[in-house]
Structure 1
Amino acid sequence: MLGLALVGTAWWLGRDTPAPAPEAGTSAPGGVVPPASDPAPIVPAGRPVVPVVDAAWTAQVAEATGIPPVAVNAYAVAELRLRTEAPSCSMGWSTLAGIGWVESHHGSIHGSILGLDGRAEPPIVGPALDGTGGFAAIPSDPLLAAWHGDPTWDHAVGPLQFISSTWDRWRSDGDGDGVMDPNDLDDAAYAAARYLCHDGHDLATGEGWAEAVFSYNHDDAYVASVYAAASGYAASAG
């Protein structure tokens, strides 16, 4: 399971029996789509143009779902960017929110606090991927060793728990600050959205959604847990 793509171990979560994942021919989780504010912000040359999500929408969804506004905004921005970059993917903010819940409770697991900059404090670091406890053995890589501090074994890092190989390929600047940081939920959400959309799945269909999330973590129970969370958020948001 570990080391295949984004790490989705949910190693810290005690789950109730998950809701079933969507079957072929059924609908994928969906919800209110976030509106972008106009005009687009002015950004320095060479920086991506990051959509500005309507603040009233963010506040409404945060209140309805219990997701921190910073996290709601990160997931919504990722959706808006993928609407342009991969429109056939049908990426939705609630899917990213479901993943964010399962991976780290939106950056708040184990007493961490998600700051206004999208970074959890203390940073969220998964266990050593040393081949024990059912984990794959993945040697450390200098890229993420700087984030997790272990020169021997890799660890998943950040609110969406990236491992080195995946972050090396999909690392992204989600908030246009010129930095690509897996500990920044803005960057991690955009990278996760790009990953989920890279293989041509249509996330508007139940089958396509399930296959995309399964590629994120090769575990049926994980897919079911994300589906339960994503569907709940979409329903709460109206």
Structure 2
Amino acid sequence: MVEPTHPGDTKPRRSASTLWLALGVVATGLILIFTLGTTRPDSPKPLPAPGPPSPPPAAAAPKPAVAAPVDRPTKSDEAQLDEWARDLAGPTKLPAVLLGAYGRAEMRMREEAPNCHLSWATLAGLGQVQAVGSGPLPVPQPIWNRWSARATNDAKRADMRNVADAAYTVARYLCSTGADLSTANGWWSTILGYTQSLPDTRDTLTAADTFATAAPAR
């Protein structure tokens, strides 16, 4: 039986094959959209970590400081070190325990790395800038892992919270560069490697010079 046609109905009916073709085109388009939407370009390679800034052209070395006592490996030198620290505590306005830690580090480096010429005043300057004048010197974990050591021969493990161990560890790291810290180039390149900051290094030099000019009380 033939269905009657209605007036104005002149468009032919779409076949099933035409409908499936249209659905296929739509599906292909969706696949392309989702594929393009989830594709990411290759991630850029990370940039190398920047090194320490360059020293200023007119860089100067710290002023000479009153030397810490002579290290005597076969005899106790604690009494001399304590007396030295007490004499400088007033003029430098630093606790004697901190001065003793810095002085001990200078004494040890004088024997272990004689060409380093590390002064306790440089360690005190770093402490003034990096540790705000009190407490142990901050030691970055990689430096601690490589250079940590006990400052006193008491068979205990080095402790980052111990002011003497922290100072000794930083001293070992600073002198590991092979630089002469009594020279401008040697001091600036070494301290910049530790602080990674030109302003902090300038402040460290200023503080070190202030401590170096402090005269003992006696």
Asked whether 1:75 is paired with 2:109, we answer no
Q: Secondary structure at the match of 1:30?
A: coil
Q: Which residue of structure 2 aligns with residue 16 of structure 1?
A: none
Q: Distance in 2 between matches of 1:233 and 1:189?
A: 16
CA distance in 2, matches of 1:4, 1:40: 45
Rounded Cα–Cα distance in structure 2 between residues aligned with 1:34 and 1:171: 21
The unaligned stretches of length 5 or more in structure 2 are 1-48
Aligned-partner Cα distance in 2 for 1:29–1:208: 14
Paired residue type of 1:202: D
- Map 1:79-228; keep pairs closer than 5 Å: 79-107=106-134, 159-177=136-154, 178-228=156-206
Q: CA–CA distance in 1 between the matches of 2:147 and 2:71?
A: 27
* Cα contact 1:78–1:174 (8 A) shared by 2: yes
Say if 1:21 and 1:223, in contact at 8 Å, map to a contact too: no
Which amino acid is 2:198 matched to?
D
Report how many aligned residue pairs link the two structures. 163
CA distance 1:58–1:21, shift in 2 (3 Å)? farther
Does the 8 Å CA contact 2:179/2:187 hold for their aligned counterparts?
Answer: yes
Q: Which has the higher helix share?
A: 2
Q: TM-score normalised to the size of structure 1?
A: 0.62
Structure 1 gaps of 5+ residues are 6-19, 43-50, 109-158
Paired residue secondary structure (1:183): coil
Distance 1:101 1:183 in 2: 16
Change in CA separation of 1:40 and 1:225 when aligned onto 2, cut-off 3 Å: same
Runs of 4+ in structure 1 off by over 6 angstroms are: none
Alpha carbons of structure 1 residues 224 and 36: separation in structure 2 relative to 1, 3 Å: same
Offset at residue 22 of structure 1 (A) = 8.7
Pick 1 or 2: higher relative contact order, CA cutoff 8 A, min separation 6. Answer: 1
Equivalent residues of 1:22, 1:227 under 8 A apart? no
Question: Pairwise CA RMSD of aligned residues?
Answer: 2.6
What is the distance in 1 between the residues matched to 2:133 and 2:198? 21
Query: Percent of pairs identical after alignment?
Result: 34
Hey, what's the Cα distance between the residues in 2 that align with 1:192 and 1:167? Answer: 8
TM-score, scaled to structure 2? 0.67
Instruction: Report what 1:29 is aligned to.
Output: 63
CA distance in 2 between partners of 1:22 and 1:96 (Å): 23
